[in-house]
Structure 1
Amino acid sequence: MGNKGQSKGILVLVLAGICALMLLSGFRSAEPAGRSGVQSADASTAAGELQESLALLTTLGGQASAPGAPLRLVLKWQGEYSGEETDEVAVQHLATRLGLDGISSADDDGHRVWRSAAQLSGGTQLSLFWSELGGGRSYCIVTLETADLLGSPELPAAAADAGEAMLQAGIAAEWNASLQAPAKEQGGTQAALLATEQLMAAELPGIQAEESYTDISTSSHSYSVPGLQRTVSSGSHSLALQLAVHKNVNADVNRITLGMPLITIEY
């Protein structure tokens, strides 16, 4: 497949994921930038909630992963934009707030998209993706990723700043975070999943598996967790955490992935 075909396929996957997440999160649009609907209190509350969640995710990852293993973290802020500025101007303003430059744009399968990326001082990769949806609406994803969370102390503050930048841009973004590492528990994926749940139970009193997924190489549970405020609705459940154990059959090694409130990267 040529490059054009690949870009079309990637865009289809991105937009499909966007639609699924919007349905899960019950997403609400922000008021346009510059209007009185942008509340700093909301940003402060979200930042505090995010810091607590990242600390908990780091603790859980350390307990569930192989000793000394690096903890890969992917954190995403994403939400819809329908403000008064044109997309081109809004993207530039958001990129400036994020400290990004060198924005590229392209027409992918009828949708105009913009991208920009930079590496922060501690090794965290910061990237911006913006896509037209049509009807005066666009969707924005700001991603922060590090291969080693414990070696990237700048990430929590940078993540909070990114959320504030999106709110200032008129985007009521929601965050999700996924942590991944070689698993402490080996053997079959279902047995490793249950053993990992026991490790997490001390940190998460009342944790309850609500949904499950299993295939030949993966076992996953999604949980309700009393006390965790960041949740998504799925049927009659409010899910706050997802755990997956995936077997790399070539290396015969289990990999864990933890998601708050759900996993949004490949297991």
Structure 2
Amino acid sequence: MTKADIRGDFKEVESQIARLLAIGEGFREKDRDWSHMKNKEDWERNLYKISDDRNRATWGRIYSDGRDMAGFMSDALCSINYDITTYPTLTRVIERFDGSWIDSDLTPIVEDAIKVNEKYELNCWAFDQMVTLFKDQQSLAQVVKSTLELLKDSDLYKLENGIPVNKETSNITISNVSGSNIAISSSNVDQKVEGTDAIFADLMAAIDKADIDKKEALKESVSEMQEKQGTSGFGAAYKRFTAAAANHMTIVAPFIPALSALL
């Protein structure tokens, strides 16, 4: 996966997205390894040497949880780049992993399985390999978690959630949007924003031309932003707009930098 392959609306955070996609491919390979270890090696014949059902289940969790983790993480990560329905925004990418394997305390699973293995004095090559696989996946999960934290600090995430961004650029020009050039001074305190009426007019026109459902609700959110601009209520109006536009980011994305300059 190269940077050129990253979907267009995630270009701003392409390095982090590329990392997540690469980790997803790593989990996919490990998913195949789990299947091999269970079905092609000495796993099954050692499993039934454990007479106690509870101990057998504890020993078996190294496989069942490890395989489930690999399957979920590979599917969830690899689909970021093409599943627009599941991931219409960067925010939805981050939310997808809330409470998932990356937040789980997995160490007891490994420790308890090893205790059972030692108790029954099993000499199982597949189990040893599974322990290594499981620990590798734990490490990858933490990399995913730290990468998602980096994405939360990105301007794109902040824009989607109505969080003010640090404006250090003196000029923001929105390409292919007539009359929507936003001029901002180099100071983060004193800013001059021009052409705001043109921004909202062009955004309304883009929505009218688009082949999408629920246009009126989206246009109402634009009207609310226009009404609230320059007031303390603009941030909340902007957040409602981004929520309404979550499934239509390809249409509104050219306007996001201009709108964020008004926060």
| Alignment TM-score, normalising by the size of structure 2 | 0.29
Higher strand share: 1
Larger of the two Rg values belongs to structure: 2
Using the size of structure 1 for normalisation, the TM-score is 0.29
Say which structure is richer in helix: 2
